[in-house]
Amino acid sequence: MTVAVEPYLRARRGEGRKLLVPYVTGGLGKHWLEVVRAVVDAGADAVEIGIPFSDPVMDGVTIQEASQRAIALDATPRSILMEAASLDVGVPLLVMTYYNLVLHAGLERFAAELAVAGIGGAIIPDLPLDELAPWAEAADEAGVETVLLAAPTTTPERVVAICERSRGFVYGVSLMGVTGERTSLAAQAGEMGARLKAVTDKPALLGVGISTPQQAAEASQFADGVVVGSALVRRLLQGGGPSEAADFIASVRTALDAG
């Protein structure tokens, strides 16, 4: 059952809850579906499933390595979506991938495959607002919500336009850089969150570089919640499975709930 992203996140936010969206690389090991279920049980409000691409320019070394490993394990967009279709976790699922894989599958076909697989949203970090139209049309038609990213460099006018066109939530890039763990929360995170909150009522999440429960709690002061990717994926690359993933996400959940 597809869970629509935006209504679900709005409802959760309405309960006074800070939103937590973990990222899991699809096809990374045979337990990856169990990892998705485990992070949901541990308190995720939605899950991003990465469809690995050979040339992920918005990703740092952790997700690069996870992507390469998943591809080496024969993960394909189709195999990941087929497997994901068996997930019935009660929270929204989104894919995060790069435009070439979408284009290669065909826009309408890819959007339809997401819908059939029970995926409610898509994040395509190399498809900015200016190039969005063909995909957005196909995604809207299929009922797939396309989440747009805003960055610290984004001009005020663009932030407004991005928030207007984004569906599901708005993804604020919390630093200047690509995904990957950092030792502290970037100084730009607070301003990014505040800029989004000032212009949109849609759920606004901060992501990229948010690495620890403490950083997540700190970032969530400026926004409606956080996306946590590399810190989780690193644990999986180091041999962790569903229980290690659950422990980590539960610790982030606890920190967010404590404020």
Partner 1 sequence: MSVPVRGGPVHLDPPGPEPTGLGRFADFGGRFVPETLVPALEELEAQFRTAWGSDEFRAEYAELLGSYAGRPTPVTECHRLSDRLGIRVLLKREDLTHTGSHKINNVLGQAMLTKRMGKTRLIAETGAGQHGVATATAAALFGLDCLVFMGAVDVERQALNVWRMQLLGAEVVPVTSGSATLKDAINDAMREWVASVNTTHYCIGSVMGPHPFPWMVREFQSVVGAEAREQSRAILGGADPQMVVACVGGGSNAMGTFAGFIDTDAELIGVEAAGLGLESGKHGAAIARGVPGVVHGMRSLFLQDEDGQVLEAHSISAGLDYPGIGPEHAALAASGRARYESATDDEALSGFQLLAETEGIVPALEPAHAIGWVAREAGHSIPKDTTVLITLSGRGDKDAAQVAERLTGERLQ
Residues annotated as catalytic (active site), given as ranges: 48, 59
We find the least distance from the C-beta atom of residue 163 to partner 1, in angstroms, to be 12
> Taking contact as CB under 8 A, which single stretch among the options 29-37, 86-94, 144-152, 251-259 is the one that binds partner 1?
144-152
Should residue 77 be labelled a site residue for partner 1 when binding is judged by CB under 8 A? yes
Should residue 148 be labelled a site residue for partner 1 when binding is judged by CB under 8 A? yes
Should residue 241 be labelled a site residue for partner 1 when binding is judged by CB under 8 A? no
Should residue 155 be labelled a site residue for partner 1 when binding is judged by CB under 8 A? yes
Distance in angstroms (rounded) separating the CA atoms of residues 221 and 207: 13
Distance in angstroms (rounded) separating the CA atoms of residues 225 and 219: 7
> Taking contact as CB under 8 A, which single stretch among the options 64-72, 138-146, 217-225, 237-245 is the one that binds partner 1?
64-72
Residues contacting partner 1: total by CB under 8 A: 43
Among 25, 62, 146, 154, binds partner 1 (CB under 8 A): 154
- What residues between 21 and 60 interact with partner 1 by CB under 8 A? 53-60
We find the least distance from the C-beta atom of residue 244 to partner 1, in angstroms, to be 25
- What residues between 86 and 115 interact with partner 1 by CB under 8 A? 98-101, 103-105
Among 15, 86, 153, 259, binds partner 1 (CB under 8 A): 153
> Taking contact as CB under 8 A, which single stretch among the options 81-89, 126-134, 137-145, 251-259 is the one that binds partner 1?
126-134
Helix-helix angle 32-41:77-84, to 10 degrees:
50
Residue closer to partner 1, measured from CB, 103 or 194: 103
We find the least distance from the C-beta atom of residue 172 to partner 1, in angstroms, to be 10
Q: How would you write the chain as a 3-class SS string?
A: CCCCHHHHHHHHHHCCCCEEEEEEECCCCCCHHHHHHHHHHCCCCCEEEECCCCCCCCCCHHHHHHHHHHHHCCCCHHHHHHHHCCCCCCCCEEEECCHHHHHHHCHHHHHHHHHHCCCCEEECCCCCHHHCHHHHHHHHHHCCEEEEEECCCCCHHHHHHHHHHCCCCEEEECCCCCCCCCCCCCCHHHHHHHHHHHHCCCCEEEECCCCCHHHHHHHHCCCCEEEECHHHHHHHHCCCCHHHHHHHHHHHHHHHHHC
Should residue 152 be labelled a site residue for partner 1 when binding is judged by CB under 8 A? yes
Rule CB under 8 A: which residues touch partner 1? 53-61, 64, 68, 71, 76-78, 98-101, 103-105, 125-131, 148-155, 158, 162, 173, 176-178
